[in-house]
Each structure stands twice: as structure tokens, then as C-alpha cells.
Amino acid sequence: MAWIGSANRDERQFQRPAEFDVDRGHNRHLAFGHGIHFCLGAPLARLEARIALEALLSRLPGLSLEQGAPLERMDSTIVYGVKALPVRWQPA
């Protein structure tokens, strides 16, 4: 079984693979498949994510991660992530 969470953290493919980097350029991750199995909806998913994140951050300046908040991993062999992402908002 291919484990996407592991493949997308390969030090041979990514600098600082354990860090989330929104500015990371084009990379060879496997989230949308590969070759003839590449997801046809990938460009739409990327565009939707970009629009949503830009809207959120532009409407809520001062949004940041809650320092020291415990993070609980999702129980999944396919998706690497957390169950909740505690944030705080300090309006300007």
C-alpha cells in the first residue's frame, strides 16, 4: 500500500519535509496522484484552496496559531493532519 503521508515527507524530494510551507514551489508530492492516474480536479482544488485561504486571511488580519495548544493527529493511514487547528484572532 502506498502511504501518501510518508511519501510526501521524503527528504530526497523536499527541503524541510516536516514543515508546512505555503511558499514551497512546485514539488513532486503525490496528493493528486501521478501519471495517467493524476486527478483531473487537481487544478480546481488548488484554486479553491487558494481563494478560500486568501479570503480568510484578508478578512481576518491578526489570525494566528494558538501558541502551545495541543494538536491531536487524525487517525488515518492516508491523510496526514490534525483533528483541529486552534487559532486565535486579534482584530487590528
Q: Are 5 and 78 in contact (CB under 8 A)?
A: yes
Each domain of the chain, given as residue ranges in start order, spans 4-89
pLDDT above 70 for 3: no
Distances in whole angstroms, Cα of residue 3 to Cα of each of 23, 25, 46, 59, 61:
24, 22, 21, 36, 36
Q: Look at residue 54 in the predicted model and tell me its pLDDT.
A: 94
pTM > 0.75:
no
Q: 20-64, pLDDT tens digit by residue?
A: 777 887 777 777 888 899 999 999 999 999 999 999 999 999 999
Q: Helix, strand or coil for residue 23?
A: coil
Q: Are 89 and 65 in contact (CB under 8 A)?
A: no
